[in-house]
Structure 1
């Protein structure tokens, strides 16, 4: 077969399966059914007359040929994404859809009022909000704009730091009435903490204050930040949160101000090719102004 006639969808499915490590994982992440992905892999192997995977009970392992093809297929995917970005960047209309991704806490607390106001001011712009703590791939148009708590390192992304959100330690008043209000690090260490399932951010913050902690330090853990905060508010223990949100919650008190806690940086990120698209520039401007306002209000 002339490989120039390969169906591009087969290569896209190949990248998904190779990156995920199994048909089932690729199906969950892509929304394409597992039988369809399996058919695509068989059709691609038949077309190339080469095995691309070694099938094992725990998943799919790439063959040497599969490794070579993956590198080329990813380059093709990146090229296709850049073509799409270039075409989108030529739009001059202040209308259309803008896909925005933000962490769940930011999407829940900081964005609703802004987006309501933006919809009133710019009725031609539709917002597709992705509330997720996983980084979306901006170059592949999984999102047009991202609010992130870290600076991306790719040069083809435009990144603007728009705010610093101070953090604090909090516990429910009901828990503090029972366990006491800590005045020293030793007293704080004796308290229950609500941690995260996979993230080590709490351990790193503790280490910066001379406190070595492990997963076992946290009798209750939850990776979802909204649920994690609900556990703190319910009296399950001590947890960290943004001051601008937590200070306004009457269920909790800020404690242990003798600790050094950093501010949470907020970066506004957009592909360089889309930065001047009118609808994206308008949403980007509104986000930058709102997050800067929130950051200023949060400063002690």
Structure 2
């Protein structure tokens, strides 16, 4: 490598990795497709290796590209964090705050909280990332994260605001048609809604409730929103946050005394953002709003 590649080359490379195509990367960056292609070619020339293989289905990242992926993602996240910090003028609540949350929390709980935050601080923009994976706050993939597992990373400001209870629910007309299960073992005779890919948390739950195994599910989905939609549609019985189910009179909890899971609710941000008025305002609003939900 004879010289340091321009930042735009890294940004385009990260966008192609993320979007999987030149056209998708161009749309996300507001550039033309030829411009993005030139950036990728220039970066490959600068570092002396091929980053993508051109196939009929699009661009496939090489092993070299995958090795560079975490580093370029860190560059993009740091750049975004720098711009957000620069926009934080003299203690004013303005600029952009990036918030990461799970699907259900982001869709079912956050909209009214964020709407009130925006009304109080109209100069504050919000980037909401919905994912059931845990974003790396130390790598600045998000400014603030809402987590349902206790954070273990250091250098984080953490506040536990309560807990949410998860239980088995079904739509009332499904239970009218199929009957109400009397025992956990009886669930084998019902249309169960559950996970597709197994995670450590799901394995722990399966160990506690061995009758809820993937092979018994009539509908498998890794999206919690898809599972919730199926419960609401009357497909069968599945897991739902009790606080969410209470908003839908047609949903009925079953086996309440046999199956109850409590998940803690934490608001987390990097300690370097403690002095940011914008991040502090968002952090406090989330803690207050989600705390009220956790208290019912």
TM-score, length of structure 1 as denominator length: 0.78
1:210 aligned counterpart, secondary structure: coil
1:194 aligned counterpart, secondary structure: strand
Contact 1:157-1:270 within 8 A present in 2 as well = yes
**1: distance between equivalents of 2:167 and 2:283?**
28
Please name the residue that 1:207 is paired with.
207
- Residues 227, 156 of structure 1: CA spacing in aligned structure 2 closer, same or farther, 3 A cutoff? same
**1: distance between equivalents of 2:52 and 2:114?**
48
1:219 aligned counterpart, secondary structure: strand
- Residues 85, 112 of structure 1: CA spacing in aligned structure 2 closer, same or farther, 3 A cutoff? closer
Deviation at 1:255, TM superposition (A): 0.5
Spell out the pairing of 1:34-183 with structure 2 (5 A cutoff): 35-48=34-47, 50-53=48-51, 55=53, 57=55, 59-63=60-64, 80=79, 87=86, 91-120=90-119, 122-130=120-128, 132-135=130-133, 136=135, 138=137, 143-183=142-182
Deviation at 1:278, TM superposition (A): 1.4
The worse-fitting range, judged by mean Cα deviation, of 90-99 and 170-179 is 90-99
- Residues 217, 85 of structure 1: CA spacing in aligned structure 2 closer, same or farther, 3 A cutoff? same
Contact 1:102-1:131 within 8 A present in 2 as well = yes
Structure 1 gap segments, 5+ residues each: none
- Residues 123, 81 of structure 1: CA spacing in aligned structure 2 closer, same or farther, 3 A cutoff? closer
Deviations 1:201-247 (A, max 9, x none): 66653431232612x32222334333322221222110111111213
**2: distance between equivalents of 1:24 and 1:60?**
10
**2: distance between equivalents of 1:68 and 1:105?**
32
Deviation at 1:31, TM superposition (A): 2.1
The worse-fitting range, judged by mean Cα deviation, of 28-37 and 183-192 is 28-37
1:31 aligned counterpart, secondary structure: helix
1:290 aligned counterpart, secondary structure: helix
**1: distance between equivalents of 2:277 and 2:136?**
21
Deviation at 1:128, TM superposition (A): 1.9
Q: How many residues matched?
A: 289
TM-score, length of structure 2 as denominator length: 0.79
Deviation at 1:28, TM superposition (A): 5.9
**1: distance between equivalents of 2:36 and 2:250?**
49
**2: distance between equivalents of 1:199 and 1:260?**
19
Contact 1:91-1:277 within 8 A present in 2 as well = no
**1: distance between equivalents of 2:166 and 2:256?**
10
**1: distance between equivalents of 2:12 and 2:42?**
11
Q: Does residue 24 of the first structure (1) align with residue 33 of the second (2)?
A: no
Contact 2:93-2:121 within 8 A present in 1 as well = no
**2: distance between equivalents of 1:144 and 1:82?**
8
Deviation at 1:253, TM superposition (A): 1.1
- Residues 203, 45 of structure 1: CA spacing in aligned structure 2 closer, same or farther, 3 A cutoff? closer
- Residues 213, 192 of structure 1: CA spacing in aligned structure 2 closer, same or farther, 3 A cutoff? same
Contact 1:171-1:254 within 8 A present in 2 as well = yes
- Residues 163, 196 of structure 1: CA spacing in aligned structure 2 closer, same or farther, 3 A cutoff? same
2:38 aligned counterpart, secondary structure: helix
Deviation at 1:279, TM superposition (A): 2.3
The worse-fitting range, judged by mean Cα deviation, of 22-31 and 285-294 is 22-31
Please name the residue that 1:3 is paired with.
3
**1: distance between equivalents of 2:218 and 2:285?**
41
- Residues 67, 171 of structure 1: CA spacing in aligned structure 2 closer, same or farther, 3 A cutoff? closer
Contact 1:151-1:159 within 8 A present in 2 as well = no
